[in-house]
Amino acid sequence: MHYLAADYLAAEPNPIVPIWQELVVGTIAFAVLCFVLMKFAFPRMEATFRARVEAIEGGIQKAEAAQAEANALLEQYRAQLAEARTEAARIRDEARAEAMNIKTDLLAQAREDSDRVIAAGREQLVAERETVARELRATMGQIAVDLASKIVGEVLEDEVRRRGTVERFMADLEGEGIR
């Protein structure tokens, strides 16, 4: 019985005790695996991941740059538009002011002209009236003389009075003419 048990124990390996050959083989095999994967497989994956991130980030950066450029252009166009608007407004204001000036000038000139025409007319009138008056005075004298010559036969004696009458008549005529 004792012999049998000893036999059994000898035949039965202890699972908790490592087999040293397996330790050696396992270590070498695992080392080979580590070497190959950590040298050739995973670093390439890291490189691919990095390249992918860079590609995405590059794309984003490109898009951002394009966006910025577009924004700058837009801003520039807006500024130009605003400038053009200001310019147009300024030109319009100037034109309006100029038109106003021209109008005022024209008005003033017209008024001046009309004043001048009126003054000239008035002067001419005065001159003509004086001429007419002078002519009339002469004609009146002639008429009066003629009249007097016709009457002379009847009333010769009072020559002084007649002249006075004529003078008075003339004076009256002039006074009325002036008025």
Partner 1 sequence: MVLADELPFPPSVEDFHLVPAWVSKFTVLVWIAVALIIIFFLVLYRNPKLVPTRGQWLAESFYGFVRDRVAGDLIGHEGLRFAPYLATLFSFILLTNLFGIVPGIQISTNTHIAFTAMLAVISYVLFVAVGIRKFGFWHYWKKSLFLPAPLAVQPILIPIEFVSTFVVRPLTLAIRLFANMFAGHVILLVFTLGGFVLLNSSAWFLKPISVLSWVMAIALTFLEALVILLQAYVFVVLTASYVQGALVEDH
Contact residues toward partner 1 (CB under 8 A) are: 11-23, 25-27, 29-30, 32-34, 36-38, 40-45, 47-49, 51-52, 55
Q: Which is nearer to partner 1, 24 or 151 (CB)?
A: 24
Tell me how far, at minimum, the Cβ of 70 lies from partner 1, in Å. Answer: 27
Tell me how far, at minimum, the Cβ of 65 lies from partner 1, in Å. Answer: 21
Q: Residue 155 — left, alpha, or beta (φ > 0 → left; ψ -120 to 50 → alpha)?
A: beta
Q: How far is CA 16 from CA 13, 19, 21, 81, in A?
A: 9, 9, 15, 88
Q: Which is nearer to partner 1, 20 or 176 (CB)?
A: 20
Cα gap 125→123, rounded to integer Å: 5
Torsion angles phi and psi, residue 42, rounded to 5: -70, -35
Q: Are 177 and 133 within 8 A, CB to CB?
A: yes
Q: Which is nearer to partner 1, 48 or 104 (CB)?
A: 48
Q: Which is nearer to partner 1, 26 or 121 (CB)?
A: 26
Q: Which is nearer to partner 1, 35 or 77 (CB)?
A: 35
Among 43, 23, 21, residue whose Cα is nearest residue 34 = 43
Tell me how far, at minimum, the Cβ of 11 lies from partner 1, in Å. Answer: 7
| Residue 40 DSSP code | I
Q: Are 139 and 170 within 8 A, CB to CB?
A: no
Could you tell me the two tokens for 3?
């012999």
Tell me how far, at minimum, the Cβ of 85 lies from partner 1, in Å. Answer: 49
Tell me how far, at minimum, the Cβ of 3 lies from partner 1, in Å. Answer: 19
Cα gap 75→69, rounded to integer Å: 10
